[in-house]
Amino acid sequence: MSQKVCVITGGTRGIGFATVQAFLKEGYKVVLYGSREETVSKALNELNDPNVEGRWTHLIDEEAINKDFTEIKEKYGTIDVLINNAGISDSTPFVQYSEALFTKVMNLNVIAPYVCSHAAALIMKEQGHGVILNTSSMVSRNGQPSGVAYPTSKYAINGLTVSLARELGKFGIRVNAVAPGITFTDMVKALPEQMINPMIQAIPLKRIGEPEDIAKAFVFLASDQASYITGAILPVDGAMAV
CATH code, 60: 3.40.50.720
Cα-based distances in Å from 239 to 180, 202, 206, 215 = 10, 9, 10, 18
* Assigned domain for 157 exists: yes
pLDDT, residue 192, reads: 78
Cα dihedral 123, 42, 84, 122, rounded to 10, equals -10
In whole angstroms, what is the distance from residue 157 CA to residue 151 CA? 10
Cβ-based neighbours of 47, under 8 Å, separated by 6 or more: 20, 21, 24
Structural domain harbouring 216:
5-236
For residue 175, which of 167, 184, 185, 187 has the smallest C-alpha distance? 167
pLDDT, residue 60, reads: 98
Contact between 136 and 233 under an 8 Å Cβ cutoff? The reply is yes
* Total domains present in the chain: 1
Q: Which of 114, 150, 155, 228 is catalytic?
A: 150
pLDDT, residue 195, reads: 77
pLDDT, residue 242, reads: 62
pLDDT tens sequence for the chain (242 residues): 469 999 999 999 999 999 999 999 999 999 999 999 999 999 999 999 999 999 999 999 999 999 999 999 999 999 999 999 999 998 999 999 999 999 999 999 999 999 999 999 999 999 999 999 999 999 998 898 999 999 999 999 999 999 999 999 999 999 999 999 999 988 778 777 887 888 899 899 999 999 999 999 999 999 999 999 999 999 999 998 66
* Assigned domain for 242 exists: no
* Assigned domain for 241 exists: no
Q: State yes or no: is 150 an active-site residue.
A: yes
In whole angstroms, what is the distance from residue 43 CA to residue 17 CA? 8
Q: What is the DSSP letter of 10?
A: S
* Assigned domain for 143 exists: yes
Whats the size of the chain, residue-wise?
242
Contact between 28 and 5 under an 8 Å Cβ cutoff? The reply is yes
Alpha helices in 128-210 (DSSP H): 139-142, 149-168, 186-189, 193-201
* Assigned domain for 196 exists: yes
Give the amino acid at 97. Y
Task: Label residues 7-32 b or e (16+ Cβ within 10 Å = b).
Answer: bbbbbbbbbbbbbbbbbbeeebbbbb
